[in-house]
Amino acid sequence: MGSERRKVVIVGGGITGLSAAFYTRKLFEENQIPVDITLVEKSEQLGGKIRTLHRDGFVIEKGPDSFLARKLSVITLVKELGLEEELTATNPHAITNYILHKGKLHPMPLGLVLGIPTAVSPFIKTGLISPAGKIRAALDLLLPRKEDAKDESLGSFIERRLGREVLENITEPLLAGIYAGDTQFLSLQATFPQFKQIEQKHRSLILGMLAGKNQSHNVNGLPDIARKSMFLTFKRGLITLIDRLVESLQSIRMITGQGVVQIIRDGGDYKLKLDQGTELQADGLILALPAFEAAKFIPELPEARWLEQVTYASVANIALAYKQEDISFPLNGSGFVIPRNEGRMITACTWSSSKWLHAAPPGTVLLRTYVGRSNSQEWMRLSDQELLSGVWADLKDTMEIAAEPVFFEITRCFRSMPQYPVGHNERLKKLGVQLRNYKPGLFVCGAGYGGVGIPDCIQQGKDAAEQMLTFAQS
């Protein structure tokens, strides 16, 4: 970087961009490097996909509803922001999840770890898999490992180890739910690299998951609450994290309601043009944007064409608030997921008021249904009324709900779920090299690159800040 006082601009005010801003300020301060940080966000609201609605005593998440508790990046940030007391765990009496199979809800067999069976007896008893499917899954204990380290699809890996039935009836609806994706398309290395590592180390996926099961909650630095619950959120919803981050970033300049439309390299600096004419200058730039959006600003790089092509699935979620007396179905769990082959409109339903005790006032029930996955985007043509009719029909069939909700809230999230293709990590490496060579001081991060979960996004924001510091010191 050239001048004495550094100018860093961060584009995108989702969790990745806000984390990048937080850690850039922190690291530069710790290293006594004077810096002016500006964050530019196209929308009026900060937080990106994270949005919480407070209505009539309900806490309704319009995007993500929680994060994986054992990931240190988010726990560290929570501690740094003084938010530990605000954390809340899932209801310990509602941990069972269900899967729809041939029109009926079956409890997920106990001992499933990331959709992989690790306990014999519940797996043998489950009605989700036929006897032949169970025998095929058990072959994992004997099958040799695949020696070559080449990336493959998540679906082909699970099918190779555990068979098609486990893939379609258990793993796909569970894991693909995280990406709203097609497991036959998603990259194993970019989504669940631990599966490949387990195969390399233990040969059998089941035995390897079993060996790792007891270690997973023993990560150093986790607070008690994170050891007890797989997922965490905040008592007033995930927006708490965004609000506190923004509060802590008082000293940086925030421009909201204006999108970046052009970035040009001018000598050693970058010049940015915003859609209302504002111009900014930066010697360091972090693009915390969806991949297709970032690609527009680096068109001359060969890998930009690939970035543009990272597809994003569109999804919607429909929250429905009911009076308790209108729901007779026993909500003794956290909800259910639906495999593709069931042919339903909804892909899952979270029993939010059972899963999270803070989500609904006493005497009420909050459900959240999900629509849309990759290769299944027809829902986008539907009006709100058509969408609702489809959701109600599915809830009637699966949970026998006949009553109308007291209110509902539809959230459409267009191009919101990145689909990492096979070879994604290799392309990322190439992109990194091209950026270093042709765009020094420009870093990309966010859900389109190194993980979609909130903790992964925070980690990427932090990594970008560290790269910025190294660049400033070079």
Chain positions contacting ligand FAD, by CB under 6 A: 11-17, 40-43, 48-50, 63-67, 259-260, 288-290, 293, 315, 317, 413, 416-417, 446-447, 452-454, 457
> What angle do the packed helices 154-162 and 193-202 form, to 10 degrees?
40
**Closer Cβ to ligand FAD, 338 or 457, answer by number:** 457
How many CB atoms lie under 10 A from the CB of residue 327?
A: 21
Least distance from ligand FAD to the Cβ atom of residue 425, Å: 17
Phi, psi for 174 (deg, rounded to 5): -75, -55
Least distance from ligand FAD to the Cβ atom of residue 259, Å: 4
**Closer Cβ to ligand FAD, 99 or 318, answer by number:** 318
d(CA 224, CA 175): 26
Of 222, 229, 280, the closest CA to residue 255 belongs to 280
DSSP codes of every residue in 293-319: HHHTT-TTSHHHHHHHH--EEEEEEEE
Least distance from ligand FAD to the Cβ atom of residue 125, Å: 30
**Closer Cβ to ligand FAD, 198 or 413, answer by number:** 413
Least distance from ligand FAD to the Cβ atom of residue 47, Å: 7
**Closer Cβ to ligand FAD, 231 or 440, answer by number:** 231
Least distance from ligand FAD to the Cβ atom of residue 162, Å: 25
**Closer Cβ to ligand FAD, 16 or 334, answer by number:** 16
Least distance from ligand FAD to the Cβ atom of residue 416, Å: 4
**Closer Cβ to ligand FAD, 276 or 324, answer by number:** 276
**Closer Cβ to ligand FAD, 42 or 196, answer by number:** 42
Q: How far is CA 419 from CA 142, 181, 186, 424, 430, in A?
A: 32, 6, 6, 9, 18
> What angle do the packed helices 205-213 and 154-162 form, to 10 degrees?
100
Least distance from ligand FAD to the Cβ atom of residue 203, Å: 31
Least distance from ligand FAD to the Cβ atom of residue 365, Å: 20
Element (H, E) at 444: strand 442-444
**Closer Cβ to ligand FAD, 337 or 417, answer by number:** 417
CA 463 to chain centre: 18
